[in-house]
Amino acid sequence: MATRATPFHRARLRFKSRQDIFSGVYESTAWGSDESGSGTGSELRATANIREELPRLLTKLGAETLLDAPCGDWNWLSQIELPVSHYFGIDIVPQVIAANNAKYASAARTFTVGDLVEDSLPRADVVLCRDCLVHVSFQDARAILDNFRRSGATWVLINTYPEVTSNHNQLTGPEWRRLNFHLPPFNFPEPVETIADGGQVDPSQLALWRLADLPQFGS
């Protein structure tokens, strides 16, 4: 199952890059939110709990730096005070990063265009990867996870759906499916901590893992 879609995945990317795919999503407001181009999961109603709990968790971990990958349009994170000395936001869509830099950039806050699959990432203590892997193929998800490990980060936060009993593959793009990272092809161990995420929009668990404890995929 982990490799079934790979030939189609590669063929698609020869005709349309990941950057083109997700730039088109923002240009067409395909994720259906009037509040955030990043979709309903980035609306304030969907992030009330994690806006309260994320600063607490970062403080508990003693995190000095946070990599938000992907950062999207920063709709909900703009509403909280992050207890870190530096924040790195990275997203594949140039117009999103340009808008973030215009509105939110500071000496302690950097926004950069990048492809999580293949571009070098800044080193941070914690990586926040929310509502991302649900949109990409198994192949891209494994490559992203390996890239987080190569960045030198210690921790990663990913949303997972414990009620899912079987993960299925898809092409990287605007469509998404729920993933349970305990199951193949990921086989993560139990998380160190979880935070209720999504509110009534799409309930999930934002789960914390130590990157050193996760499988290496060699994608």
| pLDDT tens, position by position, 135-147 | 999 999 999 999 9
**Burial degree of 46 (CB within 10 A; 0-12, 13-18, 19+):** buried
Strands 86-91, 193-197: pairing is: unpaired
State how many domains the chain has. Answer: 1
Strands 86-91, 109-113: pairing is: parallel
Q: What is the structure's pLDDT at 199?
A: 85
Number of H helices, E strands in the chain: 5, 7
Structural domain includes residue 219: no
Q: What is the pTM of this model?
A: 0.90
CATH number at residue 14: 3.40.50.150
Structural domain includes residue 1: no
pLDDT digit string (tens) for 6-36?
Answer: 565 555 555 678 898 988 877 777 666 777 8
pLDDT digit string (tens) for 91-129?
Answer: 999 999 999 999 999 999 999 999 999 999 999 999 999
Task: Please report the beta strands in the chain, taking only residues with DSSP state E, as ranges in sequence order.
Answer: 65-68, 86-91, 109-113, 126-129, 155-160, 193-197, 204-210
Task: Kindly calculate the radius of gyration of the chain based on its CA atoms and give it in whole angstroms.
Answer: 16
Give the range of the structural domain holding residue 134, as residue numbers without chain letter.
7-213
Q: Locate 140 and state its tokens.
A: 């891209």
Structural domain includes residue 21: yes
